[in-house]
DNA sequence: GCGCAGGTATTGA
DNA sequence: TCAATACCTGCG
């Protein structure tokens, strides 16, 4: 049994904040991070904006070039983490404490450890480039993607629910859904910079109304159905709603998120394939972007088009075959190769050509 | 208003 | 094991 996150039910629908944040007059604490000094090859902007499937993008900071922030729970305390980069090889980290908890002391090593995990900063990109350079199909991708790293989800449970909602869906649409879920059922944390919402825990998510009808019945039919907005389907997840609720229930009662990192890739894959709404593509996204299993080669229609164009003369290859091919050919680099190929295809115009 | 894109679950060979 | 189809929403 697992109960990791605290969550309170927030029933008021808040307006979306799509604009960038403005950080004038705020209480950010700067600290000299060891990461700043390490001279790590890392392009923060490229990584943040590469559209990796794991969680909604972090918020851009208006008055800060290449600055991003999001709330995350460290040591059971939500803090607002801000990362920015003035030049490649140099990463700056600031953080802000909740208004209600400003005297708190935060362990800076913990923040650095988390940032290192999220951006995979211990991974040697030059080793990857040497490997890619040996394959004439992959070598053009290197220059398009210098400094691109894996971008892991800060919250594995949110990653799982996000990935389920990403199936047969567009990035813009599932991102909106997850943002609504955070705002309706997550914990709202107030910072000087504004209010941020954490993602609800499995125990909260398994108990919400699934659709208008359930909510209407629970209100003893005292409201009009068009005012039923505190249910999962009102977030635009469609037929994925029951999958998400059932998965929440499984993590509350039967499965343990902390067991997954201890497993082999194959064990973990077989396990999460049993979750409702999770097929091979979603399972691989969860393992790669939620848990950092780099052997995963998430294969969707786009990767299928790219692989069949590059390696099979445009011949139609089934998605399961593409996955098999990628895992076999790229081994421990499969996840990174998938990420680099996808980004390369987007930037080089190959994607448009393949459509 | 209507066709289309996008993975999974289900059904039926 | 594989092919066909329904599922839901938002965009063009």
Question: What DSSP line would sit under A205-274, residue for residue?
Answer: HTTSB-SHHHHHHHTTT-S-GGG--SBGGGGT-GGGHHHHHHHHHHHHHT--GGGGGGS-HHHHHHHHTT
Whether residues A134 and A160 share a domain: the answer is: no
Any idea what the CATH number is for the domain that residue A333 is in? 1.10.1670.10
A77 within 8 A of A104, measured Cβ to Cβ? yes
Q: Does at least one atom of strand B sit less than 7 Å from the CB of A63? A: no
Is residue A285 in a domain?
Answer: no
Q: Does at least one atom of strand B sit less than 7 Å from the CB of A274? A: no
Q: Does at least one atom of strand B sit less than 7 Å from the CB of A288? A: no
Whether residues A167 and A195 share a domain: the answer is: yes
Whether residues A271 and A247 share a domain: the answer is: yes
As separate numbers, helices (DSSP H) first and strands (DSSP E) second, chain A gives 16, 7
Q: Does at least one atom of strand B sit less than 7 Å from the CB of A168? A: yes
pLDDT at residue A211, as a whole number = 87
Q: Does at least one atom of strand B sit less than 7 Å from the CB of A207? A: no
pLDDT at residue A12, as a whole number = 21
Q: Of A274, A281, A268, which is closest to residue A168 (Cα–Cα)?
A: A281
Whether residues A128 and A230 share a domain: the answer is: no
Residue nearest to nucleotide C6 (CA to C1'): A239
Residue nearest to nucleotide B6 (CA to C1'): A168
Whether residues A119 and A162 share a domain: the answer is: no
- Give me the number of domains chain A comprises: 3
Whether residues A178 and A233 share a domain: the answer is: yes
- Domain that includes residue A56, residue range: 29-144
Burial class of residue A328, CB neighbours in 10 A (0-12, 13-18, 19+): exposed
Q: Does at least one atom of strand B sit less than 7 Å from the CB of A282? A: yes
Taking all atoms of strand C, which protein residues have CB closer than 7 Å? Answer: A 168-170, 172-173, 176, 233, 236-239, 318, 320
CA→C1' distance for A301 and B4 (Å): 15
Any idea what the CATH number is for the domain that residue A56 is in? 3.30.310.20
Q: Does at least one atom of strand B sit less than 7 Å from the CB of A243? A: yes
Reduced to 3 states, what is the DSSP secondary structure of residue A166? helix
Distances (CA, A) of A173 to A224, A248, A256: 26, 21, 29
pLDDT at residue A46, as a whole number = 93
Q: Does at least one atom of strand B sit less than 7 Å from the CB of A320? A: no
Residues 79-108 of A with CB under 7 A from strand B: none
- The sheet carrying A59-60 orders its strands as A29-30, A92-96, A77-84, A67-74, A59-60
Is residue A248 in a domain?
Answer: yes
Helix, strand, coil % over all residues of chain A, rounded to 5: 50, 10, 40
pLDDT at residue A215, as a whole number = 83
CA→C1' distance for A163 and B1 (Å): 31
Residues 6+ apart with CB under 8 A from A300: A281, A319
Of A85, A112, A144, which residue is a domain's last?
A144
- Tokens, residue A26: 């705020």
Detail the DSSP E strand segments found in chain A. 29-30, 59-60, 67-74, 77-84, 92-96, 188-191, 194-197
Whether residues A161 and A140 share a domain: the answer is: no
Average pLDDT, 10 consecutive residues per value, chain A (355 residues) = 21 26 52 62 92 85 86 91 86 90 84 93 96 97 95 95 94 94 95 93 95 84 78 94 96 95 96 96 96 96 93 91 95 97 92 85
The distance from CA A156 to its chain's CA centroid, rounded to whole angstroms, is 8
Which bases on strand B have an atom closer than 7 Å to a protein beta carbon? Answer: 5-9
Is residue A290 in a domain?
Answer: no
Which bases on strand C have an atom closer than 7 Å to a protein beta carbon? Answer: 2-3, 7-11
Per DSSP, A61 falls in state B
Q: Does at least one atom of strand B sit less than 7 Å from the CB of A51? A: no
Q: Does at least one atom of strand B sit less than 7 Å from the CB of A279? A: yes
pLDDT at residue A286, as a whole number = 96
Question: Which residues of A are designated catalytic?
Answer: 281
- Closest nucleotide to residue A170 (Cα to C1')? B6
The distance from CA A155 to its chain's CA centroid, rounded to whole angstroms, is 8
Q: What is the CA radius of gyration of chain A?
A: 21
Whether residues A214 and A169 share a domain: the answer is: yes
- Closest nucleotide to residue A302 (Cα to C1')? B6
CA→C1' distance for A236 and B2 (Å): 20
């Amino acid at each position: 049994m697992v109960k990791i996150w605290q969550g309170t039910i927030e029933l008021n629908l808040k307006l979306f904040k799509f604009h960038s944040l403005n950080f004038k007059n705020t209480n950010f604490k700067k600290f000299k991070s060891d990461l700043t000094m390490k001279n790590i090859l890392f392009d923060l902007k490229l990584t943040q904006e590469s559209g990796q499937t794991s969680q909604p993008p972090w918020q851009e900071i208006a008055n800060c070039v290449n600055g991003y922030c999001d709330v995350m729970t460290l040591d059971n305390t939500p803090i607002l983490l801000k990362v920015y980069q003035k030049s490649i090889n140099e990463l700056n980290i600031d953080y802000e404490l909740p208004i209600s908890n400003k005297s708190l002391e935060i362990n800076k090593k913990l923040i650095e450890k988390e940032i290192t995990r999220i951006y995979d900063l211990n991974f040697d990109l030059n080793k990857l480039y040497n490997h890619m350079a040996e394959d004439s199909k992959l070598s053009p991708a290197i220059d398009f993607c210098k400094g691109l790293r894996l971008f892991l989800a800060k919250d594995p449970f949110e990653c799982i629910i996000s990935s389920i909602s990403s199936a047969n869906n567009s990035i813009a649409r599932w991102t909106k859904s997850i943002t609504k879920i955070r705002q309706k059922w997550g914990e709202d944390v107030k910072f000087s910079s504004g209010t941020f919402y954490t993602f609800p825990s499995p125990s909260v998510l398994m108990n919400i109304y699934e659709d208008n009808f359930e909510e209407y019945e629970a209100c003893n039919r005292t409201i009009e159905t068009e005012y039923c907005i505190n249910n999962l389907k009102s977030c635009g997840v469609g037929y994925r709603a029951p999958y998400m609720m059932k998965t929440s229930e499984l993590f509350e009662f039967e499965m343990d998120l902390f067991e997954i990192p201890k497993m082999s890739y194959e064990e973990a894959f077989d396990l999460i394939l049993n979750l409702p709404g999770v097929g091979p593509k979603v399972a691989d996204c969860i393992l790669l972007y939620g848990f950092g299993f780099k052997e995963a080669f998430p294969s969707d229609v786009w990767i299928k088009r790219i692989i069949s164009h590059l390696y099979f003369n445009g011949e139609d290859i089934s998605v399961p075959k593409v996955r098999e091919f990628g895992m076999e050919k790229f081994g421990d680099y499969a996840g990174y190769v998938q990420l680099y190929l996808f980004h390369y295809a987007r930037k080089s115009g190959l994607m448009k050509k393949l459509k």
